[in-house]
Structure 1
Amino acid sequence: MNFFMVLLILFFISLFEGFLERAFSIGKSVTGFPLWVIEISDRPGEIEAEPAFKYIGNVHGDEPVGRELLLRLANWICDNYGKDPLAKMIVNNVHLHILPSLNPDGFSVRKRNNANNVDLNRDFPDQFFPLNEDLSLRQPETTAVMTWLRDIRFTASATLHGGALVANFPWDGTEDKRKYYYGCPDDETFRFLARIYSKSHRNMSLSKEFEEGITNGASWYPIYGGMQDWNYIHGGCFELTLEISDNKWPPASELPTIWEYNRMSMLNLVASLVKTGVHGRIFSLDKGKPLPGIVVVKGINYTVKAHQAYADYHRLLTPGQKYEVTASSPGYKPKTTSVWLGENAVTADFILIPEASSGGKLLRSNCDCNCGQPLLTHFFTDTYNGITFTLVVVVAFLCFLLQRRVRFNLWKQRQSSRRSITI
């Protein structure tokens, strides 16, 4: 069954099940073959205040197992949306994108590299060495992925490879090109995500070569220009490199078994975006509207950006720890809260207060209730009569109502079962 027939079947299945998926191309290969993406969501093609996940397969043309498994994954989710709680949760709460084949040209001739004989997993800008800085020399498949990440803000992702059985996490290289464990700022979180895949797999966690079936890339063998590190640094996306089959090109008869071994791992990794971590939105107190900003966690040198339109953020973290989370935005006072992250996700919404300039005027504040400090000072310095006092009370009460309204709107928007706090 060819790729286009699979897409057609998925479309009709989705119509029958009561939701839609869509297929679109993010670009073309060297020979002009479209790089098709399957998007699965209860609102495909729309932007929502929820995390997005992407799977990419067939980065190397001679590793087709990932391509086949991703087509099966798309079909399974669509077919089981009305029957399986996990499928329904993913569709309703995650924007899932699946690119079955990044290297269709290499696949067609059963070779590792693309039609220009370039290894696509060595073609991304590198943090340690000035590789691939010339945009005109970058491969079209690489450029397509980089543009894709500028258009869609992915929370996490994974690429599917073959030739081993292990879940690989950053960093993939070292500063001196030597082989040793070199963890990124979110090393604990990446180990947690890698274990989700490994322990859900039929036998990956039983590996005698890799403890728990996971490995730091640089401690296995360093690479440079890889997609994984670039995603984390430039895309704000937590990416794993999954080696899902010891045999790069197994007989077709083995695919059903490989699929069953990997199915729950693939599903659970996507579901982890909803089941754990700290999620929320940032709002302005003066307007009560979404406020683009950033979120940082004390002790971890990594910044997560909130969405420009909906101001939602999704911060993946290792469960079983206490975290100090700070939200900030230019012109507003940052706010910090302590969050105990248990086995379930936590929702932490932030309401930021405008900063005051040296002249006492509020920055970015258009509050209709005129509840700023200059107004109060004016009242108390000009007169002390009872009328003024009454007006101050009224103003304070109106501000109180405004904040209550913001909190109530947040409560109405929250439809998940996460533990929720507003700061």
Structure 2
Amino acid sequence: MAFDMFPCKRNCFNACHSRQNTLCSLIFSIAWILQFIGNVHGDEPLGRELLLLLANWLCDNYMKDPLATLIVNNVRLHILPSMNPDGFSLRRRNNANNVDLNRDFPDQVFSLLHLFFPMNNDADARQPETKAIIHWSKERHFTASASLHGGALVANYPWDGTEDRKRNYYACPDDDTFRFMASLYSSSHHNMSLHKEFQGGITNGAAWYPIYGGMQDWNYIYGGCFELTLEVSDDKWPPANELHNLWNFNKKSMLNLVASLVKSGVHGRVFSSHCGGPLPASIAVKGINYSIKAGERFADYHRLLVPGERYEVRASMPGHKPKSTVILLGEEAMTLDFVLDPEITDKESLLRSGCFRGFDSESRFNFVDFLKGPYLGVSLVLIFVLAFLWALVRRKLSLNHFKHRQSVAPKRSGV
């Protein structure tokens, strides 16, 4: 009866449990994954309070409010209320080591040829909070992210840095999509879109003021994740009696941003036509110099795009022939699966190309198909014969052991 509450119950993709076996999680669908992060700077605590209120609202309103139900059923939402608890305790911007965490991520520098090169890439020197976020993000394969800050009222999007390190608008390849996401948050807010300093309540990070080593650009470059930096209040540390109003000002924006993952973009999975197994292929859109990678386990991908436009989506993977499909993206998200044909068919090459990647997820069906095939009867007879022979051998060994013990045992003297 309890499972009747959940819409996706035909396919269980994964099951996991906590270290102490006290909490079990079943994954019934391949969902969009979004992370909310608050309190990156210790002296900007409003984000942590808003995220706790968001979590509480979703729990209280699931199966009661349509938007809450849509989000819980379709989005795997990860909430980190405080990235910088030491800074919060010290009531200062930086962490316990006096490092600004939003300047501590690997970034990009630019050459004259506009090529990207890694910067700030000394992993040992990076702060523990930064290392934890990087590990978490790479492990979870987030679709989108939003970090909540204070001290301004604007939705900020990449790039945060410029080639010449001057204050200029510097667009990333997905500039249109980021502007759509930022505008969605701003227009849903109580008064963000009316802010006099920023037209429409949104800004390109580099046009506002360039920074380097920020989490927003790192997520886009290295994580395949679309992140916004949300400045949610002009007051960095508002009094407690204003929290209720500030929550109401931001609630609709936060919910609409999460729900937009379900209502826009294209998503699906990539399979091999040879074995039917999942392929962690690259997904690219013609005209946008940026690609994302399908998940390693389930080969699921989630590509954010502006609705109402025509796109040519391409899936490619080494050892397989790429495929492209032209779509017209409407006001709802579109499901688009790809089945890639291998360039070669010998088993060794297919192994290298990722067709047979073990017996996890749906690649298990290769072994099942073998058992169901024409060799099923032969296999069963062979197993029975081997089991019978093994039983005879064990019996023979037991008899020999018993006779040996009889022959070496000391004989009792007669009375």
TM range (shorter): 0.7 to 0.9
CA 1:309–1:364: 2 relative to 1, 3 Å: same
Q: CA separation in 2, counterparts of 1:364 and 1:55?
A: 39
Consecutive unaligned residues in structure 2, runs of 5 or more: 8-15, 111-117, 352-415
Residue 156 of structure 2 corresponds to 168
The answer on 1:139 being equivalent to 2:127 is: yes
Q: Is the 8 A contact 1:355 1:363 kept in 2?
A: no
CA 1:47–1:151: 2 relative to 1, 3 Å: farther
Question: Which amino acid in 1 is paired with 2:254?
Answer: M
Question: Which amino acid in 1 is paired with 2:82?
Answer: S
Q: Please, which of 106, 119, 126 is the counterpart of residue 125 of structure 1?
A: 106
Q: How many residues align?
A: 331
Q: For residues 360-404 of structure 1, give each alpha carbon's deviation from its aligned partner in whole angstroms, at most 9, with x where no partner exists.
A: 999639xxxxxxxxxxxxxxxxxxxxxxxxxxxxxxxxxxxxxxx
CA 1:184–1:330: 2 relative to 1, 3 Å: same
Q: CA deviation at 1:308?
A: 1.1
Residue 103 of structure 1 corresponds to 84
Q: CA separation in 1, counterparts of 2:198 and 2:33?
A: 29
Q: CA separation in 1, counterparts of 2:126 and 2:68?
A: 37
| Matched ranges for 1:193-232 at <5 A | 193-232=181-220
Q: CA separation in 2, counterparts of 1:355 and 1:346?
A: 28
Q: CA separation in 1, counterparts of 2:132 and 2:340?
A: 37
CA 1:345–1:114: 2 relative to 1, 3 Å: same
Q: CA deviation at 1:288?
A: 2.2
Give the SS at the match of 1:250.
coil
Q: For residues 214-235 of structure 1, give each alpha carbon's deviation from its aligned partner in whole angstroms, at most 9, with x where no partner exists.
A: 0000000000110000000001
Residue 180 of structure 2 corresponds to 192
Give the SS at the match of 1:355.
coil
TM-score (norm 1): 0.74
Residue 250 of structure 2 corresponds to 262
The answer on 1:114 being equivalent to 2:100 is: no
Give the SS at the match of 1:128.
strand
Residue 394 of structure 2 corresponds to none
The answer on 1:69 being equivalent to 2:47 is: no
RMSD of aligned alpha carbons: 2.7
| Matched ranges for 1:290-305 at <5 A | 290-305=278-293
Give the SS at the match of 1:239.
strand
Question: Which amino acid in 2 is paired with 1:152?
Answer: R
Residue 31 of structure 2 corresponds to 50
Q: CA separation in 1, counterparts of 2:34 and 2:151?
A: 24
Q: CA separation in 1, counterparts of 2:64 and 2:105?
A: 40
Question: Which amino acid in 2 is paired with 1:328?
Answer: S
Question: Which amino acid in 2 is paired with 1:260?
Answer: N
Q: CA deviation at 1:132?
A: 3.0
Q: For residues 297-353 of structure 1, give each alpha carbon's deviation from its aligned partner in whole angstroms, at most 9, with x where no partner exists.
A: 001011111111111110001111100001112222111100111111111111111
Q: CA deviation at 1:133?
A: 2.5
Residue 323 of structure 1 corresponds to 311
Larger radius of gyration: 2
Q: Please, which of 350, 355, 360 is the counterpart of residue 338 of structure 2?
A: 350
Q: Is the 8 A contact 1:159 1:240 kept in 2?
A: yes
Q: CA deviation at 1:44?
A: 4.5
Give the SS at the match of 2:162.
coil
Residue 406 of structure 2 corresponds to none
Q: CA separation in 2, counterparts of 1:361 and 1:64?
A: 56
Question: Which amino acid in 1 is paired with 2:326?
Answer: S
Q: CA separation in 2, counterparts of 1:297 and 1:159?
A: 26
The answer on 1:364 being equivalent to 2:350 is: yes
The answer on 1:87 being equivalent to 2:68 is: yes
| Matched ranges for 1:274-289 at <5 A | 274-289=262-277
Give the SS at the match of 1:147.
helix
Q: CA separation in 2, counterparts of 1:284 and 1:298?
A: 22
Moved over 4 A (4+): 22-25, 43-48, 360-363
Q: Is the 8 A contact 1:354 1:362 kept in 2?
A: no
| Matched ranges for 1:241-260 at <5 A | 241-260=229-248
Consecutive unaligned residues in structure 1, runs of 5 or more: 1-16, 26-38, 366-423
Sequence identity of aligned pairs in percent?
66
Q: CA separation in 2, counterparts of 1:282 and 1:44?
A: 24
Q: Is the 8 A contact 2:189 2:252 kept in 1?
A: yes
TM-score (norm 2): 0.75
CA 1:45–1:258: 2 relative to 1, 3 Å: farther
Q: For residues 250-284 of structure 1, give each alpha carbon's deviation from its aligned partner in whole angstroms, at most 9, with x where no partner exists.
A: 11000000000100111111111111001111111
Q: CA deviation at 1:243?
A: 0.2
Q: For residues 200-251 of structure 1, give each alpha carbon's deviation from its aligned partner in whole angstroms, at most 9, with x where no partner exists.
A: 1011111111111000000000001100000000011000000000100111
Q: CA deviation at 1:139?
A: 0.6
Give the SS at the match of 2:302.
strand
Q: CA deviation at 1:45?
A: 7.1
Q: CA deviation at 1:89?
A: 1.2
Give the SS at the match of 1:66.
helix
Q: Is the 8 A contact 2:344 2:350 kept in 1?
A: no
Q: CA separation in 1, counterparts of 2:306 and 2:348?
A: 38
Question: Which amino acid in 2 is paired with 1:111?
Answer: R
Q: CA separation in 1, counterparts of 2:297 and 2:350?
A: 17
CA 1:45–1:134: 2 relative to 1, 3 Å: farther
Q: CA deviation at 1:24?
A: 9.1
